[in-house]
């Protein structure tokens, strides 16, 4: 049983989705490809064109992203929105998840979800917001990926993991440098479930929402 890491900046891990950003590289492992909100440039459509081509033909690309909104960093919001909407529709078309980066922009995500007929499955990565905000997202195809904040007792991440439907959870190391095993261990203590059961659940969850399967 493999403990999948669905979002990592560390390259070359076998059961992990490496965050390649918009760098289309030869890789033997799985990737997510996309334009990070910090990196949306005025010529983003050129970058997007390449991402679109690559994502359509390369089955190693398991997700689009990270993409999203950030009110603290990056270009002005209309530009971020345009890039996000294009990437979200690509993910929907390919039937693979979009990995979301969202900082102080919950309202922008809600606006998108409420105005879009066929949104892709969205995985909010590094979830550490209040459970009330998470609950607002449950009517939509939004999933939650938990990382290093699970190691902080009393964090919002630990509170929401304990309350979140188990079919909506994923785990990640992001840029923490931690081993994914330590995240599963923390989750296993919070949920009082064996790590192997969580590992299996994550695989089931992924395969229920994506055309590109993992095992
Ligand atoms: Zn990241």
How many angstroms separate the CA atoms of 199 and 4, rounded? 7
What is the spatial distance between Cα 147 and Cα 19, in angstroms, rounded to a whole number?
A: 15
pLDDT digits (tens, 9 = 90+) for 105-117: 999 999 999 999 9
Residue 33 Cα to ligand 1 midpoint, Å, equals 12
> Is position 62 within any domain?
yes
Q: List pLDDT tens digits, range 40-88.
A: 999 999 999 999 999 999 999 999 999 999 999 999 999 999 999 999 9
User: Which residue segment(s) compose the domain that 31 sits in?
Assistant: 5-209
Measure 180 CA to ligand 1 centroid, in angstroms: 14
How remote is the CA of residue 36 from the centroid of ligand 1, in Å?
9
User: Ligand 1: distance of its center to the CA of 102 in Å?
Assistant: 11
This prediction has a pTM of 0.96
- Flag whether 170 is in a domain: yes
Residue 104 in any domain: the answer is yes
Q: How far is the CA of 172 from the centre of ligand 1 (A)?
A: 9
- Residue-wise pLDDT for 168-201, tens only, equals 999 999 999 999 999 999 999 999 999 999 999 9
Residue 69 Cα, ligand 1 centroid: separation in angstroms? 13
**142 occurs within a structural domain:** yes
Residue 58 lies in a domain: yes
Q: How many domains does the chain have?
A: 1
Q: Is 159 exposed, middle or buried (0-12, 13-18, 19+ CB in 10 A)?
A: middle
pLDDT digits (tens, 9 = 90+) for 138-168: 999 999 999 999 999 999 999 999 999 999 9
pLDDT at residue 35, rounded to an integer: 97
Whole-number Å distance, alpha carbon 174 to ligand 1 midpoint, is 5
The CA distance from 48 to 212, in Å, is 20
Q: How far is the CA of 12 from the centre of ligand 1 (A)?
A: 15
Instruction: Report the pLDDT value the prediction gives residue 28, as an integer from 0 to 100.
Output: 79
Residues 197 and 57: their CA atoms lie apart, in Å, by: 33
Asked if residue 214 is part of any domain, the answer here is no
Q: Provide the residues around ligand 1 (an ion) whose CB is within 5 A.
A: 174
Strand order in the sheet with 122-124: 5-8, 16-21, 30-33, 61-70, 98-103, 122-124, 142-146, 169-171
Q: Which residues, 6 or more positions from 96, have their beta carbon under 8 angstroms from its beta carbon?
A: 55, 61, 62, 63, 64, 120, 210, 211, 212
Q: Are strands 142-146 and 169-171 parallel, antiparallel or unpaired?
A: parallel
Given the structure tokens 């492992």, which residue do they identify? 29
Ligand 1 centroid from CA 27, angstroms = 18
CATH of residue 108: 3.20.20.140
Q: Is 136 within the bounds of a domain?
A: yes
């Amino acid at each position: 049983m493999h403990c999948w890491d669905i979002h990592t900046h560390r390259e070359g891990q076998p059961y992990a989705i490496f965050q390649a950003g918009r760098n289309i590289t030869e890789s033997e492992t799985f990737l997510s490809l996309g334009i990070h909100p910090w990196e949306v440039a005025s010529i983003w459509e050129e970058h997007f064109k390449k991402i679109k081509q690559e994502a359509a033909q390369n089955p190693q690309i398991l997700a689009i992203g990270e993409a999203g909104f950030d009110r603290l960093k990056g270009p002005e919001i209309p530009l971020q929105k345009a890039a996000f909407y294009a990437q979200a529709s690509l993910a929907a078309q390919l039937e693979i998840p979009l990995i979301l980066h969202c900082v102080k922009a919950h309202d922008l995500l809600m606006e998108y979800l409420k105005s879009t007929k066929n949104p892709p499955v969205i995985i909010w990565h590094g979830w550490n917001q209040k459970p009330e905000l998470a609950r607002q997202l449950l009517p939509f195809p939004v999933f939650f990926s938990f990382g290093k904040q699970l190691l902080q007792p009393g964090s919002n991440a630990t509170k929401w993991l304990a309350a979140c439907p188990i079919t909506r959870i994923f785990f990640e190391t992001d840029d923490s440098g931690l081993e994914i095993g330590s995240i599963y261990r923390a989750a296993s203590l919070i949920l009082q479930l064996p790590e192997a059961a969580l590992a299996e659940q994550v695989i089931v969850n992924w395969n229920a929402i994506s055309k590109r399967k993992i095992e």
